[in-house]
Amino acid sequence: MLSLLQTLKQNYQKALLFALYGGIGCLIIALILGEWFLHLTELSPLPQTDQKAVILLIDSSGSMEGGKLEEVKTAAINFINRRDFSKEQLGVINFGETVNIITSLSTNQVQLNQGINSLQALGGTPMAAGIKQAIASLSSTDNNRYILLFTDGMPQSQFQAILAANKARNQSILMIVVATGDADIQYLTRLTGDPNLVFYANSGEIDQGFRQAELAINNQQLLESKTTGNYSLTYSSLRTGGWTAIITLGLSLTLIVAQNHYLHRRLLTIKETFLILIGSTIAGLIAGGIGSSLFTILTNLPNSELIAGVINWGIAGTITFVIINSIRRNIPLKEILIRGFLLGIIAAVALIFTIDYLGDAGILIAGFIVGCGVYYTFYSKGLAWFFGIIVLFSGSWLLLPSVNFSSALEIAIRLIAWTILGAIVALGISYFIPNLQRLRAFLGGSLGGSLASIGFLLMSLILTQFIPIETSLADRLGRLIGAFILGFCIGLMIFWEEERQLQKSIYLLIRWNDQESRKILLGEIPIWLGSSVDAQIALSKTKYPDKFAKIFKAGNQVFFEFHSDYAQAKGIKITQQEWSSSQSRTFDGITLTIVDETR
Distance in angstroms (rounded) separating the CA atoms of residues 529 and 551: 8
Q: What is the pLDDT of residues 283-311, one digit of tens each?
A: 888 887 777 677 666 656 555 566 666 77
Residue ending a domain, choose from 499, 524, 545: 499
* Contact in structure between 484 and 248 (CB atoms under 8 Å): no
Cβ neighbors of 168 (< 8 A, separation 6 or more) are 131, 134, 135, 147, 175
pLDDT means per 10 residues, the chain with 599 residues, are 45 76 90 89 66 90 83 90 89 90 90 90 87 91 89 82 81 88 84 85 86 81 43 71 86 88 86 87 80 66 64 78 74 81 83 68 77 81 77 57 45 76 85 85 84 74 62 73 86 84 90 89 91 91 92 91 91 90 90 87
Residues 495 and 511 in one domain: no
Residues 83 and 196 in one domain: yes
**Domain-embedded: residue 163:** no
User: Which of 51, 72, 55, 50 lies closest to 147, judged by CA?
Assistant: 55
Distance in angstroms (rounded) separating the CA atoms of residues 1 and 180: 54
**Domain-embedded: residue 167:** no
User: Which of 97, 118, 116, 96 lies closest to 106, judged by CA?
Assistant: 116
Residues 106 and 242 in one domain: no
What is the model's pLDDT at position 396?
53
Distance in angstroms (rounded) separating the CA atoms of residues 451 and 553: 34
Residues 123 and 27 in one domain: no
What is the model's pLDDT at position 403?
36
> Please, how many CA atoms are within 13 Å of residue 488, restricted to the half-sphere of its CB?
17
Residue 185 CA, chain-centre distance (Å), reads 31
* DSSP 8-state code for residue 403: B
Residues 482 and 512 in one domain: no
Residues 215 and 241 in one domain: no
Distance in angstroms (rounded) separating the CA atoms of residues 435 and 428: 13
CATH number at 522 reads 2.60.200.20
> Which structural domain, as residue segments, surrounds residue 555?
507-596
The strand pair at 527-530 and 537-538 is best described as parallel
Helix 438-466 / helix 304-327 crossing angle, nearest 10 deg: 100
Residue ending a domain, choose from 468, 499, 530: 499
* Contact in structure between 165 and 175 (CB atoms under 8 Å): yes
What is the model's pLDDT at position 148?
93
Distance in angstroms (rounded) separating the CA atoms of residues 226 and 230: 10
Residues 197 and 242 in one domain: no
**Domain-embedded: residue 424:** yes
* Contact in structure between 453 and 478 (CB atoms under 8 Å): no
Residues 252 and 386 in one domain: yes
Number of domains comprising the chain: 3
Residues 214 and 259 in one domain: no
* DSSP 8-state code for residue 196: G
**Domain-embedded: residue 149:** no
Q: What is the pLDDT of residues 227-236, one digit of tens each?
A: 455 566 677 7
pTM for the full model? 0.61
Distance in angstroms (rounded) separating the CA atoms of residues 185 and 201: 11
Residues 250 and 212 in one domain: no
Q: Classify 192 as helix, strand or coil.
A: helix
Cβ neighbors of 29 (< 8 A, separation 6 or more) are 246, 247, 249, 250, 253, 483
**Domain-embedded: residue 157:** no
Distance in angstroms (rounded) separating the CA atoms of residues 13 and 21: 12
Residue ending a domain, choose from 451, 482, 499: 499
Residues 408 and 316 in one domain: yes
**Domain-embedded: residue 96:** yes
- Taking CA atoms, 500 is separated from 449, 503, 537, in Å, by 19, 5, 22
**Domain-embedded: residue 162:** no
What is the model's pLDDT at position 443?
83
What is the model's pLDDT at position 551?
93
Distance in angstroms (rounded) separating the CA atoms of residues 286 and 296: 15
Radius of gyration for the chain, computed over Cα atoms and rounded to the nearest angstrom: 31
Residues 405 and 291 in one domain: yes
**Domain-embedded: residue 482:** yes
Distance in angstroms (rounded) separating the CA atoms of residues 253 and 11: 25
CATH number at 93 reads 3.40.50.410
